Amino acid sequence: MKIRLSTFDDIPQIEIIINDAKTYLASLNIDQWQNGYPNAEQVENDIKKGESYVVVNDENKVIATSMFTLRKEPTYKEIFDGKWLVSEDKIYGVIHRMAIKKEFRKLGLATFLFDEFYQQLKDKNIQSLKIDTHEDNLGMQSLIKKLGYKYCGIIYTSYKAKRLAFEKVIS
């Protein structure tokens, strides 16, 4: 398996993965991704900016997707009940919209994506990788803590939803 930038041809497969993730989150009573986000338009924008990634298996089938950027996340400017580990004025990486195809969950693909993005930042001497997640998404919280991310506080999305913010300092 390998990670590559997404193409417009990948959008139908990415949509299936995201819609499966929405269903999965709803089945766990997690009110994340239940408001029409993310959607195909968002994925198209990510692709246009060179920020959408997919994991493909040996048959070249898309089995995971994520957005990764070096652009500052506007909602990270203000953090409540805590603080970022690395100053917000420094360049940092951000992960959003990570989802794994349902039949490939629990096989380490999320870790594979995190490791790739971490390595990209390390290669560029960028010190920080940030992510946020829903307070009820215990699976993602467990994974990011296991991978060495530290809880930093609370941020609010552009649509005023509360999210727990995490960061890993890259050494």
Q: Mean of the pLDDT values across residues 135-144?
A: 96
* Residues constituting the chain: 171
Residue 92 has pLDDT above 90, yes or no: yes
CATH number, domain of 133, equals 3.40.630.30
Give the count of domains, the chain.
Answer: 1
Answer for the pair 19, 101: CB distance below 8 angstroms, yes or no: no
Residue with more model confidence, 141 or 35: 141
To which H or E segment does residue 67 belong? Answer: strand 62-69
Instruction: Please tell me the predicted confidence (pLDDT) of residue 158.
Output: 87
| Residue 116 confidence (pLDDT) | 96
Under the banding of pLDDT at 50, 70 and 90, the label for residue 36 is confident
In angstroms, rounded to a whole number, what is the distance separating the alpha carbons of residues 114 and 75?
A: 21
Could you give the C-alpha distances from 18 to 15, 36, 61, 62, 139, in angstroms and in order?
5, 11, 15, 12, 16
What's the pLDDT tens digit per position in 146-169?
999 999 999 999 888 899 999 999
* Residue 88's pLDDT band (cuts 50, 70, 90): confident
pTM over 0.85: yes
Whether 25 shows a pLDDT value over 90: the answer reads yes
| Domain interval for residue 12 | 2-169
Confidence of residue 37 (pLDDT cuts 50, 70, 90): confident
Tell me what the mean pLDDT of segment 45-62 comes to. Answer: 96
